[in-house]
Structure 1
Amino acid sequence: MFDGATCLRLTTIAARTGLPLPTALRLVRELVAWGGLERQADGSYRLGTRLWVLGGQVPCQRRLAEAGQPYLRGLRTATGRAVTLTCLDGDRLLVVDELGETGAAGSHLPLHATAAGKLLLAHGPDDLRRQILGNLVRITPYTVTAPGLLLRQLADIRRGSLATTQEERRLGECEIAAPVGPMGEAGPAAALSVTAPSAPAARRAAPILAATAAALTAHLTPPDLITEPRFSGSRRSP
């Protein structure tokens, strides 16, 4: 639609899209509200920051998924468990790739109820933790919804404890996660996790999980091959 133009008037947008002016106005307003377009002082519109963020994430996530595939297959074979590669996407966990049906690639999972989410949350920005702590939704009877308890778990993770969950997202599933990528100011860029039917079974996978995550991290260097965790306030799907 923009074809290299920096800004467009509403009449130009309507003409280029073939939409009636009232329809174009309604869609443009929806895009402005979502963050896909920005209205300028002169009444014209330009691409919004949401599209720039999405555009910047996609190539990095694709490279991460492609690089991670052999490591996920190896981890899956070595443990016999479901394995998932995830990264932070706003205030949720994005499934970059998975083997074993723990969550379809491209889907989103809650941070507070997943081991990978807790790992990224523990090392992530304070604003993100405050936002999540203010909305701890109970998913199963075992989901941690007490802010004080979750804060203690996150503090333990920062001190080196394993990031784990016990039936907090799904009954009969316990998770363990390890960081992927260099530990920047905003925490690791991604997380690799294993899902097992019990906490002891998940913990038995810890050594091979840690080794696989370290090998994937080494493979991903230099760091610009992977995306830094992204959080800029509340994010909701359009």
Structure 2
Amino acid sequence: MGQSVAGRVLSVLDAFADAPGTLRLTDVARRTGLPLPTALRMVRELVAWGGLERASDGSYRLGTRMRVLGEAALCPRGLLAAALPSLRALAARTGGHADVAVESGGVALFLVSGEKLPLGATAAGKVLLAAGAKGAFGTVPTVPGTIPPAPGTAPPAPGTASGAAATLGMAPPAAATPGTASTAAAAPGAPATPSALSALSAPATLLPRYTPRTVTSPARLAAQLARVREDGIAAAHEEYRLGELAYAAPVVDATGTPFAAVSVTARTGTPHARLTAAVRTAAAATSAAYAAALAAEAR
């Protein structure tokens, strides 16, 4: 029995699950195994519904309707709505792109842009890692003297500012090409031994490199995450894309446990003090707004 119409539509959406950004029609047909005319019909239906959007170069990306549905399905329901006023203020204050991220499938999912970025190479991802998020390479071990992740929380994504903050123990624009502008490890939560740290420096256990400034040493990333837990803020200076500077701070629940990260991305050269103060304020305001929304819903 052949695949149903619904099955074909869902297979088209699945084709974008691990896509780097946009896909051309030929890419969709190849990923789904559908004949080109059939893939075209499915894509047109999804564009009309809002599940896909057509880019100026004729390629396709996930549409706003999918982002709305995805946000509704996330564990922190209503987070984006609670964060939007603070994100708008953050963008106006800094001139940068403001976003809020959560860990999803071992990456940092940004709810405004819809991007899925590596935890260890972004500021938001680092916040999430510091909070205990687990990335594609597992939990980044702590180093002697650092604070282990809170039990039951997932580590943030390496490569993002939010990821750094999360790993350090803080509670939790169209996609661009990485690098352009627009395991031997200690048990999770336990200090890494000298032998473990030595093993982590082996080439086979290096983290992915996106730019010349990406932190690829797990031991060095663990040290960054320790600073994130201590300072309550994470940074990523051209670690995922050249020309970009990002800072992130944790969004916490009523118990003070981090579960998300607010981040701001600006051009390299933007005054750091202006960005750090603004992102701290936005993260605190988002935490308060989300708590108030949950309280109102419970009444």
Equivalent AA in structure 2 for residue 165 of structure 1:
A
Instruction: Tell which deviates more after alignment, 204-213 or 61-70.
Output: 61-70
Matching of residue 116 in structure 1 with residue 124 in structure 2: yes
Report deviation, 1:128. Answer: 3.1
CA change 1:168–1:55 in 2 (3 A) is closer
Quote the RMSD (CA, aligned, Å). 3.3
- TM-score where L is the length of structure 1: 0.61
Which of 175, 194, 205 is 2:275 aligned to? 205
Instruction: Tell which deviates more after alignment, 107-116 or 199-208.
Output: 199-208
Which whole-Å CA distance do the structure 1 matches of 2:269 and 2:130 have between them? 20
**2:99 corresponds to:** 84
Deviations 1:131-176 (A, max 9, x none): 9685611011110001111111011111225300110010010110
Deviations 1:164-217 (A, max 9, x none): 0110010010110011122869x5121111112226624422112211211111
**1:196 corresponds to:** 266
**1:166 corresponds to:** 237
Matching of residue 66 in structure 1 with residue 81 in structure 2: yes
**1:218 corresponds to:** 288
Asked if structure 1 preserves the Cα contact closer than 8 Å seen for 2:249 and 2:262, the reply is yes
Which whole-Å CA distance do the structure 1 matches of 2:230 and 2:3 have between them? 54
Structure 2 unaligned segments of length 5 or more: list them: 15-68, 142-154, 159-199
CA change 1:57–1:128 in 2 (3 A) is farther
Structure 1 unaligned segments of length 5 or more: list them: 1-19, 35-53, 98-103, 226-238
Report deviation, 1:223. Answer: 8.3
Equivalent AA in structure 2 for residue 114 of structure 1:
T
Which whole-Å CA distance do the structure 2 matches of 1:167 and 1:92 have between them? 18
Asked if structure 1 preserves the Cα contact closer than 8 Å seen for 2:96 and 2:266, the reply is yes
Equivalent AA in structure 2 for residue 213 of structure 1:
A
**2:139 corresponds to:** 128
Report deviation, 1:125. Answer: 4.9
**2:219 corresponds to:** 148
CA change 1:71–1:138 in 2 (3 A) is same
Which whole-Å CA distance do the structure 2 matches of 1:161 and 1:199 have between them? 22
Q: Tell me the number of residue pairs that the alignment of Structure 1 and Structure 2 aligns.
A: 171
1:65 aligned counterpart, secondary structure: helix
Which whole-Å CA distance do the structure 2 matches of 1:83 and 1:55 have between them? 19
**2:208 corresponds to:** 137
Which whole-Å CA distance do the structure 2 matches of 1:157 and 1:83 have between them? 19
Describe how 1:11-22 pairs up with structure 2 within 5 A. Answer: 20=1
CA change 1:217–1:160 in 2 (3 A) is same
Which whole-Å CA distance do the structure 2 matches of 1:88 and 1:198 have between them? 25
